[in-house]
């Protein structure tokens, strides 16, 4: 069931990526499919895991799609989605709620018309109203303002950076960082090549902003991937044919069927094989035999298992109380108000 949910979320990510590319490329199907495929494969390789962040990828892409629709269609109705997305994000993955507004900021900057700075300029009043409502909606959650503010103290905690590798800064010795460095170089050169054209400032802001986040903590590169690829659809919209039927007229039906089928099979097949073989999702947990033994001789209600940071989730899944689990922020005294379990766990190592 969990694996199926991840695959369904990945399909939703692919659909949104395709929709965004299709919109800004002026309905270029081939280019949209290629960019969607490359972007999703990069996400699957590093960041599609059984964690709430996969829902955040959907909401962040949904936000971008709504904003692009507002700009291209000049219709205020699409801004209704901004408060809705804000509500979904704060209640499903609060730690990335602030990321919505960092993305929105890039669109706010581009909403001011200035030829010298190449700012596009579009109607700001409905956009600002939607943003204010989205901020207020963010407080509609079980924890109120604390759901919004807790991330700032947690992110800077020194013990968090010891145990959680994704909070480490950029390092060229890291395989993920090497991959990101190559992507930054290639896309950076593309931006440089098109610098004389009408490059959208919002795309430059998204690219640079998320790149800086990735340098600060490598988990930020997940957001970088979301926004780094789709602007290429705008750059190459006139260089790639818009429809296969214009290229392969004699065999248009066969080519279309093969192309669509191949794309779907590769995305689903590669994603399934890769995800099921990754260490981040295992069908059998390393602590399974230990927990099986404990359950034979202990009462679930009375026992508390001295679990490790990574095994705590599985301990709780089996119905036992865990000393600590991967919800790292919860075990910091500044958040729980009782004890600094995370520091104690570090000292006991």
pLDDT band at 329 (very low <50, low <70, confident <90, very high): confident
CA distance 310 to 321: 14
Mean pLDDT over 176-204 rounds to 85
CB 220 within 8 A of CB 210: yes
Contact criterion met (CB below 8 Å) for 290 and 314: no
Mean pLDDT of 279-297: 70
More confidently predicted of 86 and 347? 86
Res 272: pLDDT:
60
**Alpha carbon of 249 to those of 252, 253, 256: distances in Å?**
5, 9, 11
The band of 294, judged by pLDDT with boundaries at 50, 70 and 90, is confident
pLDDT at 347: 79
**How many alpha carbons lie under 13 Å from residue 115 in its C-beta half-sphere?**
0
- The answer, yes or no, to whether residue 335 has pLDDT greater than 80, is no
Candidate ranges 79-83, 317-321, 340-344; pick with highest mean pLDDT: 79-83
Helix (H) or strand (E) holding 315: helix 312-317
Q: What is the pLDDT of residue 18?
A: 94
Are the CB atoms for 228 and 207 separated by under 8 Å? yes
Q: Quote the pLDDT of residue 258.
A: 64
Nearest to 99 by CA among 51, 138, 139, 41: 138
The strand ranges marked E within the chain are 304-305, 321-322
Give which of 270, 203, 263, 262 is closest to 234, Cα–Cα. Answer: 203
Of 140-144, 170-174, 241-245, 312-316, the least confident: 241-245
pLDDT at 256 over 70: no
Per-residue model confidence as pLDDT tens digits over 127-170: 999 999 999 999 999 988 888 887 776 666 777 777 777 778 88
The chain-wide mean pLDDT, for the chain, equals 83
């Amino acid at each position: 069931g969990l694996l199926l949910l991840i695959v369904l979320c990945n399909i939703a990510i692919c659909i949104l990526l395709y929709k965004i590319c299709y919109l800004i490329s002026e309905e270029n199907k081939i280019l949209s499919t290629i960019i969607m495929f490359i972007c999703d494969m990069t996400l699957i390789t590093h960041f599609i895991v059984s964690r709430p962040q996969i829902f955040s990828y959907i909401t962040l892409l949904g936000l971008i799609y709504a904003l692009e629709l507002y700009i291209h269609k000049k219709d205020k109705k699409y801004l209704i989605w901004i408060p809705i997305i804000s509500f979904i994000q704060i209640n499903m993955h609060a730690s990335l709620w602030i990321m919505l507004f960092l993305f929105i900021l890039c669109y706010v900057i581009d909403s001011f018309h200035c030829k010298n700075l190449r700012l596009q300029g579009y109607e700001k009043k409905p956009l600002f109203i939607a943003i204010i409502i989205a901020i207020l909606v963010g407080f509609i959650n079980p924890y109120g303002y604390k759901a919004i503010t807790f991330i700032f103290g947690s992110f800077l905690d020194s013990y968090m950076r010891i145990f959680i590798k994704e909070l480490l800064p950029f390092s060229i010795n890291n395989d993920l960082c090497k991959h990101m460095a190559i992507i930054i170089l290639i896309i950076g050169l593309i931006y440089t090549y098109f610098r004389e054209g009408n490059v959208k400032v919002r795309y430059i802001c998204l690219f640079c902003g998320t790149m800086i986040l990735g340098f600060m903590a490598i988990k930020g590169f997940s957001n970088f991937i979301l926004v780094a690829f789709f602007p290429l659809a705008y750059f190459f919209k006139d260089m790639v044919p818009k429809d296969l039927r214009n290229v392969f007229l004699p065999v248009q039906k066969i080519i279309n069927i093969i192309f669509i089928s191949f794309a779907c099979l590769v995305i689903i097949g590669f994603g399934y094989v890769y995800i099921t073989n990754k260490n981040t999702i295992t069908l059998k947990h390393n602590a399974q035999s230990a927990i099986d033994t404990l359950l034979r001789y202990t009462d679930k209600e009375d026992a508390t298992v001295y679990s490790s940071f990574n095994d705590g989730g599985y301990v709780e899944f089996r119905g036992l109380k865990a000393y600590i689990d991967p919800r790292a922020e919860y075990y910091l005294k500044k958040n729980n108000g009782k004890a600094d379990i995370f520091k104690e766990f570090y000292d006991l190592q």
